[in-house]
Structure 1
């Protein structure tokens, strides 16, 4: 029969077991933190003032007042007051066609979560904004997360918005004696692209 050599085990010191478990806990927390940081962030919409009724749908023209900011609070873009040549025919605000190819993805996704009359803060992570390639000459650095403060003035189906723009064009032409002046041509159709494109 073969004899097994015995190796005596030393007892674990009282503080060593605690240190071992603290080390394991620290490793688990570190791994969890790294995994959380690596997860892609999504668009978040925080309601500042609640709106009413249904929200806009894809294909609607949304009239908004907005300001876009970088993470440090620098405003890189903001809407200007609407100066429609015939007041009351169109809502105040910048018209934006709510289509995924007309707006940056995050802005499109954020607007779908709003309601008429509400004000919102929309956070858009870089991968749903301009990513590594912002528009040339824009004050937006590569891979920048963006925040937009947005007021939803109104929205309507694209067909209704086009009718109103055409009615405005006809009124302008009539006011100019039936001649198509310089100011009339630009009012025929709503912009297909909003500022955050």
Structure 2
């Protein structure tokens, strides 16, 4: 890990200046690409801030922007195809398990505990405990780990959840597997969930609020 540069943060001006740097750093993280040269970034900032001059004209910059954009799009497309292939393989294997039921939409579910209570409707608000993972077991979201149940409207969640919850009764605990089309699809969800990713949830339906 690279050593962080030393900086003095004694005055308000220094602190606010440092805050600007954090904002620029966050923007770089959100737009990062392989080969990003931080020293070139700093040089560009200094050239423009101190002299309002650039060593490169737009005609020199724009083709390079296009190269990097095309490279990123190609990498994203390749990853999406790979994810789709892995999703199909996992879903086929999971569907073959005798304890798993697959609905007409492609949702897969397994009853872990049967509560036998009433089922929510399409506009109900419910309280659940859940544990969400990728197919390799990596946790991406969990009310269980946070130690606090989640409340939400059934119509406000991903399609796989909307379908499963209306099939469940209060007290039921299910493990559901959502194909990408019933989760976040080809777009994914920010940096946390890649495109074409099936998601696995253990859901415990605790309460129907209305």
What TM-score do the two structures reach when normalised by structure 1?
0.51
SS of 2:161's equivalent in the other structure is helix
**Structure 1 stretches of 5 or more lacking a match?**
1-36, 83-92, 158-197
CA contact (8 A) 1:68 1:75 kept: yes
TM-aligned CA deviation for residue 58 of structure 1: 1.2
Task: Please tell me the root mean square deviation across aligned C-alpha atoms, in Å.
Answer: 1.7
1:109 and 2:163 correspond:
yes
CA contact (8 A) 1:41 1:125 kept: no
Match of 1:63 in 2: 127
Q: Tell me which of the two structures has the higher relative contact order, counting C-alpha pairs closer than 8 angstroms and 6 or more residues apart.
A: 1
Aligned-partner Cα distance in 1 for 2:147–2:114 = 22
TM-aligned CA deviation for residue 81 of structure 1: 2.6
Counterparts of 1:28-177 in structure 2, within 5 Å, are 42-79=106-143, 80-82=146-148, 93-99=149-155, 102-138=156-192, 140-157=193-210
Q: List per-residue Cα deviations over 1:78-111 (Å, max 9, x = no partner).
A: 11333xxxxxxxxxx2101011xx1111111111
**Structure 2 stretches of 5 or more lacking a match?**
1-91, 93-103
Which 4+ stretches in 1 moved above 2 angstroms?
Answer: none
What TM-score do the two structures reach when normalised by structure 2?
0.48
Aligned-partner Cα distance in 1 for 2:169–2:178 = 18
Aligned-partner Cα distance in 2 for 1:123–1:78 = 15
SS of 1:112's equivalent in the other structure is helix
Q: List per-residue Cα deviations over 1:115-141 (Å, max 9, x = no partner).
A: 111111011001111111112121x22
TM-aligned CA deviation for residue 45 of structure 1: 2.0
Match of 2:41 in 1: none
Larger-Rg structure: 1
Count of equivalent residues: 106
Aligned-partner Cα distance in 2 for 1:154–1:53 = 9
